[in-house]
């Protein structure tokens, strides 16, 4: 195997490792944000709570109800995103494992000769 092939493999491994690191970082952020939303949601006052309402607060009550809906929607999106990111991480890890196995096989073939020289990386 020539040096260009080895360089390509090395760059591919680095790119794959970067993708895995980024996917894991996004998964961590999604889980952290989901936790923050879950912790904060109960602290929102109920939109129909009458103890703080006055005629001047109708717009606030409407906006508060909208925020509650947005929080619920955000929680659902985050809950749906986590498994997708986890599946992406598993796929990237499988690609990484396959690339490592191919690279190990190439090193073994080259070490045993087969007319291509005897080098070991």
- Please name which of 6, 3, 20 lies closest in space to residue 86, comparing C-alpha atoms: 20
118 in any annotated domain? no
63-110 pLDDT per residue, tens: 778 888 888 888 888 888 889 999 999 998 998 898 888 878 876 655
pLDDT at 121: 43
Name the residue range of residue 11's domain: 3-111
Please check whether residue 19 is in contact with residue 85, taking contact to mean a CB–CB distance below 8 angstroms.
no
25 in any annotated domain? yes
pLDDT at 36: 83
119 in any annotated domain? no
State the pTM of this model: 0.55
| pLDDT tier for residue 6 given thresholds of 50, 70 and 90 | low
Q: Find where tokens 């996004």 sit.
A: 26
14 in any annotated domain? yes
Cβ neighbours for 20, distance < 8 A, ≥ 6 positions apart: 89, 92, 93, 96
120 in any annotated domain? no
Number of domains in the chain: 1
| pLDDT tier for residue 52 given thresholds of 50, 70 and 90 | low
Is the pLDDT at 118 greater than 60? The verdict is: no
């Amino acid at each position: 195997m020539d040096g260009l092939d080895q360089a390509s493999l090395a760059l591919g491994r680095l790119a794959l490792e970067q993708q895995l690191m980024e996917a894991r970082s996004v998964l961590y952020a999604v889980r952290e944000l989901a936790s923050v939303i879950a912790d904060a949601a109960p602290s929102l006052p109920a939109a129909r709570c009458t103890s703080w309402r006055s005629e001047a607060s109708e717009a606030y009550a409407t906006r508060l109800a909208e925020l509650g809906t947005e929080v619920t929607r955000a929680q659902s999106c985050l809950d749906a995103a986590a498994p997708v990111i986890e599946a992406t991480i598993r796929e990237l890890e499988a690609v990484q494992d396959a690339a490592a196995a191919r690279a190990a096989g190439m090193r073994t073939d080259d070490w045993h000769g087969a007319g291509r020289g005897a080098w070991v990386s």
